[in-house]
A and B are shown apart, each in its own frame.
Chain A
Amino acid sequence: MATDRTSLQERLEALKRAETDSSAVLEDDKQDFKIESRMAQAESSLKKEVRSRGREEGEDAEAPSGPVGLDIGTSHVIVAQNERRYIKTTNQLNAFFTIPHSKFAKDILVKNDVFFFEQDGMYYIVGYSAENFANMFDTDTRRSIKQGLLCSDEKEGITVIQAIILSLIQKPKRFGEVLCFGIPGEPLDGIGSVTYHESIIKMFIARMGFSPISINEGMAVVLSELAEHDYTGIGISIGGGMCNVCLSYLSFPVLTYSIQIGGDYIDNSAGAVVGIPGTRVKAIKEKELSLVVKPKDRLTTALHIFYNELIQKLQKSMERVFSASNQIPMISKPIPIVLSGGSAMPDGFTDIFERSLAKVRLPVEISSVHLAEDPLNTTAKGALIMAMTEEVAE
Chain B
Amino acid sequence: MSVQVIIYSSDRIRGGILKEILRRVKIDALLLDNIMDVKSAISSHKPPVVIFDTVNSLKNEVAFLKKISSSVDECIVMLLGDVSIINSWRDHHQGGIRNRIFLPDPLDPEIIISKSRQILSDWQQDVLIQEDAGKEESNKEKTDKEESLDSVASSDSAAADEIATRIVNHKNHAGDKKSGAVDEKDAAYEKYAVDENYDIELLESELRQYLKLD
Contacts and interface: CB of A to CB of B under 8 A. Distances in A.
Interface of A: 4-5, 7, 9-10, 249-254, 326-330, 332
Interface residues of B, number: 22
Contacts, number: 48
Contacts of A327: 13-14
Contacts of A249: 17
A7 B106 contact: no
A39 to B, nearest CB: 17
26 contacts: A4-B12, A5-B15, A5-B19, A5-B31, A5-B33, A7-B16, A7-B20, A7-B23, A9-B20, A9-B23, A10-B23, A249-B17, A250-B17, A250-B24, A252-B13, A252-B16, A252-B17, A252-B20, A254-B13, A326-B55, A327-B14, A328-B106, A329-B106, A329-B109, A330-B110, A332-B110
A249 B14 CA distance: 10
Contacts of B55: 326
B167 interface: no
B12 A5 contact: yes
Contact of B20 (A250, A326, A328, A332): A250
B107 A330 contact: yes
B98 to A, nearest CB: 26
Interface in B106-125: 106-111
B15 to A, nearest CB: 6
B73 interface: no
A326 B106 contact: yes
Interface string B1-32: 00000000000111111011101100000010
Nearest to B12: A5
Contacts of B33: 5
Contacts of A4: 12
Contact of A254 (B15, B17, B110): B17
Contacts of A251: 20
A332 to B, nearest CB: 6
A326 B82 CA distance: 9
A383 to B, nearest CB: 19
Given A252-B17, A332-B110, 15 more contacts: A4-B12, A5-B31, A7-B23, A10-B20, A249-B17, A250-B17, A251-B20, A254-B17, A329-B106, A329-B107, A329-B108, A330-B107, A330-B109, A330-B110, A330-B111
Most buried by A among B20, B31, B33, B107: B20
A253 B17 CA distance: 10
B108 A330 contact: yes
A4 B106 CA distance: 23
A29 to B, nearest CB: 32
A253 B13 contact: yes
B2 to A, nearest CB: 19
Contacts of A10: 20, 23
A260 to B, nearest CB: 24
Interface string B46-58: 0000000001000
Nearest to A5: B16
Contact of B19 (A7, A254, A328): A7
Contacts of B106: 326, 328-330
B105 interface: yes
Nearest to B81: A326
Nearest to A3: B16
A327 B107 CA distance: 8
A161 B110 CA distance: 46
Contacts of A332: 110
B8 to A, nearest CB: 12
Contacts of A328: 106
B132 to A, nearest CB: 35
Contacts of B110: 330, 332
Nearest to A325: B106
A287 to B, nearest CB: 41
Contacts of A9: 20, 23-24
